[in-house]
Amino acid sequence: MSVPNYEGKTYVGYLDISGFKEMMKDNDKVENVLDSFYSCLYRRICDVNINDNVVKINAVAVSDCAVLFLSNGERDDVDQRTGLLKMLSFINSVNREFINLGPYSFMTTCSIAYGDFSFENRKDSDHIRKNCLRGPAYVAAYLDNEKETERMKPGECRILMKGLTLEPDQQNEFALLKKESRYYRYYYWMLNNSREIPQFKRKYSKTYEEMYVKLMKLLRNPCL
């Protein structure tokens, strides 16, 4: 079944494989990573959608990224609370699988925005496949994932608050969302309890700093 046409307000996620440019030096690894990426997305989407007759999750995958969006009929807006729960659950499940693929494991970054979005399957012709994605939510998710300032680190997932009237900080079901600024909420999908967030953040920062220090030492003494 093809991705259905959609127009309305919904959640759009821009999911991107971290470190893909470096992976491209190894053709075998790239082939296996991309195969796992596409297979996992397909399998998880089928599992999620078969149990939900209303809100469906969809993906348009190209190379090392996928545009995710929720649909609720062809022209119906997706409820903010229900949609966010579904999108976060999906990100949780695929990311946990991505990091447990043995030698072909990988990490991702993901930006999620809510707002107007349109997807249209246009008629294919010889040598070209046409899928039209547009709307502020798509643009916001894409630009946030690609921005140089406040650049996302491997494993991170964040929700842009612009356009949302939902207040997730006041609801227990969104306990793994952490307010980092008035513009973002970070989703700690790798944790099971919000009490683990402070310790995880310290460990993540320390690991990142240690990697930077090791690279500095290597640059100073490349022959050691």
Residues 152 and 183 in one domain: yes
Q: Do 107 and 205 share a structural domain?
A: no
Identify the CA nearest to 189 among candidates 158, 221, 151, 149.
158
What number of other Cβ atoms are within 10 A of residue 191's Cβ? Answer: 16
Q: What percent of the chain has pLDDT over 70?
A: 99
Judgement on whether residues 181 and 223 belong to the same structural domain of the protein: no
Kindly tell me if the per-residue pLDDT of 10 is higher than 80. Answer: yes
Q: Which domain holds residue 219?
A: 196-224
Kindly state whether residues 164 and 57 are assigned to the same domain.
yes
- Take residue 224 and report the two structure tokens written for it: 């050691």
Domain-embedded: residue 1? no
Share of the chain above pLDDT 90, in %: 71
SS3 (DSSP) at 183? coil
**15 beta partners:** 66, 110
Q: Tell me the pTM.
A: 0.92
CATH code for position 169? 3.30.70.1230
Rounded CA gap, 209 and 220, in Å? 17
Q: Measured between alpha carbons, how far is 87 from 167 in angstroms, rounded to an integer? A: 16
Q: Diameter of the chain by CA atoms?
A: 62
pLDDT tens track for 32-70: 999 999 999 999 999 999 887 789 999 999 999 999 999
Domain assignment present for 27 = yes
Same domain, 133 and 152: yes
In-domain check, residue 128: yes
- Alpha carbon distance 53, 139 (integer Å): 28
Find out whether 68 and 59 touch, Cβ atoms under 8 Å: yes
Mean pLDDT of the chain: 91
**In terms of domains, do 210 and 166 share one?**
no
Residue 199: phi and psi, rounded to 5, are -65, -40
- Alpha-carbon torsion, ordered 76, 119, 66, 201, to 10 deg: -40
| Joined tokens for residue 88 | 């976060």
- pLDDT tens-digit readout, 161-189: 999 999 898 788 999 999 988 899 999 99
Could you give the number of structural domains in the chain? 2
Instruction: Give residue 15's pLDDT band: very low, low, confident or very high (50, 70, 90).
Output: very high
Same domain for 214 and 116: no
**Residue 128 sits in the same domain as residue 213:** no
Q: Are residues 38 and 133 in the same domain?
A: yes
Give yes or no: residues 55 and 163 share one domain: yes
CB 163 within 8 A of CB 135: no
pLDDT over 70 (residue 224) = no
Rounded distance between C-alpha atoms, residue 224 and residue 214, angstroms: 12
Same domain, 163 and 83: yes
- Residue 83 falls inside a structural domain: yes
